[in-house]
Amino acid sequence: MSSSRAFLANSPPPKSDDFIRALWDARFTIQDFATAIGRHPTCIRAWKAGRSLPSPDARVTATNWLLENGIDPGLLFPFPEIETPIRIPGTRQLRLVPPPPQEEPMQCTREYLDDIVLEWFGLSADPFDDPANPEDLYLSPANISAEKAMREAVRRRHLLAICGEPGSGKSALLRRFISKAQNEQLVRVIEPASLDRRHITARTLAVAILRVLIQRDTSPMGSEAQSELLQAALREQVASGMFPVLIMDEAHLLQTSALLAVKQLWDSSSAYKHLSVCLVGHLALANALRANPAIRELGGRTKVVEMQAMFNPKAARGHGADVATAYLDWRLSKVGADVRTIFDDLAIQEIARRGEYPLWINNLSVRAMQYAHAAGDKLVLAEHVGRV
């Protein structure tokens, strides 16, 4: 047995990063890996830290070796890849290909129509502004599915994560859910917005929940007394027919320790089956729940719902355009207008092709209307949308 293998066999697992641990679990050391691919361990550590980039040949060699030994190459190459390894048909080898060209990401800052453009199109108000009533939301299939998942998680006191691209409608859906919950007076919403996400612990979460439930600061209390008080407060909520739900928006910003604190709180004797948890965040949250081994238990118990695109771009001339028409008509009807008096059919098809999510659609429509006004056109055409 080599010295590294003897070390591996006789030493306890090292307290190191995920890549070193993955090597260990596969019964290898970093020296074994470096020797196998003809590199020095220092070079491997520089790749891992992103201090240097491997050559294409080195990346292929390393990726092949890791895959053959059941280790995720993403643990070694966490930084964005300039080229993407793909498997050569009929072999176990990989080659590198350039990534496909991508369109410029859609601007996610909300656009607004000014009074001049509104007057040009005969509109009394901006149809793409947020409605005064948060429950006034266009119920696309994605919204219906996500809302159903939220209500079911609250009813069964489960863990749920709502994830999606910026502008996909997560926050609007969350506002609608909170508003309906408050009106129905069956769900007790606990939304600790003031918590510092960098320093969340099970104790600070307990303090935040108790501040909502009993309107008192319990931070000076000891941990055991606080846990008993939390248990009693949650039991009282359940006994009165209420469904307490902890909602954490922007949950993709939570550190691993914070996510573990959420799991600890939900799974503890004081909170289990008395509290549901809804995490809302970007797709990075979904990726962490599925792939981060440090929170494997939380990910295994959390239902992840990803917000789907409102339109199918491949069906832009068919069903996608129909959905786009219905959505824009819903928007314009809020200010007493009709979609056909503002947008040409081809313009709607172009919006459906490019605007997958609500905020993207809104911004495309606003900018296209601004271009139409600048061109002196009373009808928004496909060429106006194409300029956005």
Whether residue 229 is found in the same domain as residue 296? yes
Residue 258 lies in a domain: yes
Cβ distance 359 to 376 under 8 Å?
no
146 and 268 within one domain: yes
Question: How many domains in the chain?
Answer: 3
What counts of helices (H) and strands (E) characterise the chain? 17, 7
CATH code of residue 319: 1.10.8.60
Secondary structure of residue 17 in the 3-state scheme: coil
Mean pLDDT by 10 residues, the chain (388 residues): 44 60 85 88 79 75 83 72 51 52 54 94 94 89 90 93 90 91 86 72 86 88 87 88 90 86 76 82 91 86 89 51 87 93 92 85 93 93 89
The CATH number for 274's domain is 3.40.50.300
DSSP labels, 193-256: TTS-GGG--HHHHHHHHHHHHHSS--TTS-HHHHHHHHHHHHHHHHHTT-EEEEEESSGGG--H
- Tell me, yes or no, if the pTM score tops 0.75: no
Query: pLDDT per residue over 314-342, tens digit each?
Result: 544 445 578 888 899 999 999 999 999 99
Rounded distance, CA 186 to CA 245, Å?
11
Do residues 155 and 245 both lie within one domain? yes
How would you list the strands of the sheet with 187-190, edge to edge?
A: 187-190, 243-248, 276-281, 159-163, 302-306
Residue 109 maps to a domain:
no
Assigned domain for 339 exists: yes
Instruction: Let me know whether 205 and 280 are in one domain.
Output: yes
328 and 236 part of one domain: no
The answer to the question of residue 256 being in a domain is yes
- Pairwise CA distance, residues 166 & 284, whole Å: 11
315 and 299 co-located in one domain: no
Give pLDDT, residue 309: 81
- In this predicted model, what pLDDT tens digit does every residue of 135-168 receive, in sequence order? 999 988 888 999 999 999 999 999 999 999 888 8
120 and 35 housed in the same domain: no
Domain that holds residue 154: 141-306
Could you tell me if 194 and 263 lie in one domain?
Answer: yes
77: which DSSP letter? -
CB 285 within 8 A of CB 279: yes
DSSP state of 74: G
Average pLDDT, the chain: 81
Q: Give, in order, the Cα–Cα distances in Å from 256 to each of 12, 68, 197, 248.
A: 24, 29, 10, 14
* Same-domain check for residues 176 and 279: yes
